[in-house]
Amino acid sequence: MERYLTRDLINRFTSVDNNVFTNNVPVGGILDQQQNSILSNTLRPELNYSNTWGKHELYSILGLEVREVNGEGYTSRFYGYDDETAVSLRVNYDVRYPQFHNGSMMNIPFMDDVSGTTNRFISRFANFAYTYDKRFTLSASARKDASNLFGVRANQKGVPLWSIGGAWNISNEKFYSNELFPFLKARVTYGFNGNIDNSVTAFPTARADRNSYLSIPAVVITNPGNPDLRWEKVGVLNVGLDFTSRNRLVSGSIEYYSKKGKDIFAWGYTSAMAGFGTSIVKGNYAEIKGQGVDLNLNVKILQRELKWDVNALFNFVDDIVSKNIREGATTELINLGMRTRNFPKSGYPLYSVYSYQFAGLDNQTGDPLGILDGAVSKDYSQLNRASFDDLVFHGRATPSHFGSLRNTFSWRGASLSFNLIYKLGYFIRREYVTNPFSQKSTWSNTHSDFSNRWKNPGDEEITNIPSFSYPYNSNRYLFYLRSSALVESADHIRFQDINLSYRFNNTILKRINISGFELYSYINNIGIIWRKNDKNLDPDAGDIPPIRTVAFGVRVAL
């Protein structure tokens, strides 16, 4: 009875007849009980075989991992519960009662529920490497992860993964005599992987439910199923060079890869006749091409009592859609891009940001302005149907250049490290007032941009936020939502974390039988040190920046 929920339910389900009050939900407590249990079993046999004879080295692993996770859950609710005596009272779930406040008919909420889940996984993997004379290596690996995915054909329950490669240990050749880099190795691999998207199924799938009006079992189709569902097939060719300088002062690797994907999952237009209840579904609609460079560099700058290590990662990617068999109208391209669904367009990155060209605000009304056939326009329904040529293509929605720089200083037992990460070459769409003024939504929270909107002539000089308009004009709102006014560069450099620790000298501790004692502190998400946008936005976080966490700890080893 202390809870609002309890009092509210009792009040709602009170009927009045000639000043006689009947409590259909009995006066008393409401006890909600929930029980969940999870049981997990894992089996992992693994077989290693390696041998060396003469100039030959063979190394191989064969393994299997089998895992099962079972979950069971029960929820139940007791009405009119008295904790003193553990007695609860019966209610009638079958009758609909008029709600006290508005007379609409409702059943007393029935909360009893049982759930059962089973997740099973099998991974089979094999690795094989043969080296001749410590110079040439031939390697191959294969792996197949399978699970009890629902609604797909048996051969799609598992995802295959394989690669073959060769390596040449150049520094072991007799002719090699570079003293600056005593270790140098070139390698090339070709790998293939399949991918399946859990959210789509090949067979029509459904969920068991109940018809709450009639209290009979019901089944609801959740996914009509796409019989053409296939794996994504991605082939990657890797060429790399590993190097280490004398005394290991500089080490690292540089790698170039080229990637080709077929049957890539993407959103595409589908006729309502397919039965999905929507016009946009996911399928194997795209082909992609891409390439990239990864550079990993470790430098030991100081190696005295004070040590200073630098670890740097630089990545560059470039990918484009080479084909999309379900390329849709421009409106969909921009509409879906807004919801971070990829709706690929040939010749553009898989995830791209497009917008309608924004031409400021009307200086009399504060209406957003666009460009139609080269002229400033307020014809929002036409602006919302711009052709592809009229769109602004800003760039990728995911970074093209990214990486990190970690500096570690250590001096005796103390160690300090901090990590900077950078992401460049991509764009985001800012959040804006959600579906404003469409209905009487005074109760809902709205975006703070609303308070900086255009209110009087002249405001267009200081704000890009359109005036309030009533009645709600969804095309005007949609145009602004999709206009370049809300697109920002997402480039930024972030101070990711600081790690400070001190390890106490062992000799003192050993006397009290402690083999290790360490104090540490870790600060995560320190902040953005540079960003291209002037809206003070964290491009990776939407409107609410990630929380800075600070941790202190003591690590004791006995």
Partner 1 sequence: MNNLKLYIVCLFSLTTISCKKDWLEIKPDKSLVIPTTLKDFQGILDGANVSMSRTLNFVTLGSDEYYKRLTDWNALPEYERNVYNWQTDYLIDFSDFDNNLSTWNNMFRDVYNSNLILERISEVPRTSENSILWDNVKGGALFFRAWFYLQGVETWGQVYRKETAETDLGIPLKLSTDPKDIVPRSSVKESYNQILKDLNEALPLLPETSSYKNRPSKAAVYALLSRIYLFLENYDLSLQAAENALQLYNSLLNYNLINETQFYPFNQFNDEIIFHSNGTSYSTLSSNAFVDTFLVNSYHNDDLRSILYFQQIDAVKKLFRGSYFESGPTYSFYGLAVDEVMLTQAECYARIGSYEFAETILNNLLQTRWKSATYIPYEFSDSEDAMEKILMERRKSLLFRGIRWSDLRRLNKDPRFAVTLKRSLGNEVFELPPNDPRYAYQIPLIEVLGSGLIPNPR
Does 89 contact partner 1 by CB under 8 A? no
Rounded CA gap, 497 and 366, in Å? 43
Q: How far is the CB of 125 from partner 1 (least distance, A)?
A: 10
Q: How many residues are present in the chain?
A: 558
- Give, as ranges, the residues between 478 and 497 that touch partner 1 (CB under 8 A): 478
Does 50 contact partner 1 by CB under 8 A? no
The residue within the footprint of partner 1, chosen from 177, 199, 439, 513 (CB under 8 A), is 439
Does 340 contact partner 1 by CB under 8 A? no
Q: How many CB atoms lie within 10 A of CB 475?
A: 14
Does 240 contact partner 1 by CB under 8 A? no
What the block records as the tokens of 354 is 């497009």
Closest CA to 99 of 29, 26, 8, 214: 8
C-alpha to C-alpha distances, 237 to 162, 231, 257, 258, 283, nearest whole angstrom: 12, 19, 5, 5, 25
Does 217 contact partner 1 by CB under 8 A? yes
The residue within the footprint of partner 1, chosen from 54, 277, 374, 458 (CB under 8 A), is 277
Closer to partner 1 by Cβ: residue 44 or 248: 44
The residue within the footprint of partner 1, chosen from 27, 329, 508, 529 (CB under 8 A), is 329
Interface stretch with partner 1, choices 129-137, 325-333, 489-497, 520-528 (CB under 8 A):
325-333
Does 42 contact partner 1 by CB under 8 A? no
Residue 12 is classified by DSSP as: H
Closest CA to 320 of 232, 209, 416, 396: 396
Interface stretch with partner 1, choices 95-103, 358-366, 456-464, 542-550 (CB under 8 A):
95-103
Rounded CA gap, 106 and 91, in Å? 13
SS (H, E, C) 491-541: CEEEEEEEEEEEECCHHHHHCCCCCEEEEEEEEEEEEEEEECCCCCCECCC
The residue within the footprint of partner 1, chosen from 54, 103, 374, 458 (CB under 8 A), is 103
- Give, as ranges, the residues between 130 and 189 that touch partner 1 (CB under 8 A): 146-151, 154, 157
C-alpha to C-alpha distances, 200 to 27, 119, 338, 350, 436, nearest whole angstrom: 47, 17, 21, 19, 33
Q: How far is the CB of 117 from partner 1 (least distance, A)?
A: 5
Does 311 contact partner 1 by CB under 8 A? no
Give bridge partners of residue 542 from the DSSP assignment. 538
Does 41 contact partner 1 by CB under 8 A? no
Q: How far is the CB of 390 from partner 1 (least distance, A)?
A: 17
- Give, as ranges, the residues between 369 and 398 that touch partner 1 (CB under 8 A): 381, 384
- Give, as ranges, the residues between 495 and 554 that touch partner 1 (CB under 8 A): none
Closer to partner 1 by Cβ: residue 149 or 167: 149
What the block records as the tokens of 537 is 């936005």
Interface stretch with partner 1, choices 4-12, 27-35, 45-53, 370-378 (CB under 8 A):
45-53
Cα angle 467, 472, 474 (rounded to 5 degrees) comes to 100
CB 119 within 8 A of CB 146: no
The residue within the footprint of partner 1, chosen from 245, 335, 398, 400 (CB under 8 A), is 335
Does 273 contact partner 1 by CB under 8 A? yes
The residue within the footprint of partner 1, chosen from 132, 190, 472, 552 (CB under 8 A), is 472
Estimate to the nearest angstrom the gap between the alpha carbon of 466 and the chain centroid.
32
Cα angle 143, 145, 148 (rounded to 5 degrees) comes to 160
Interface stretch with partner 1, choices 58-66, 497-505, 519-527, 541-549 (CB under 8 A):
58-66
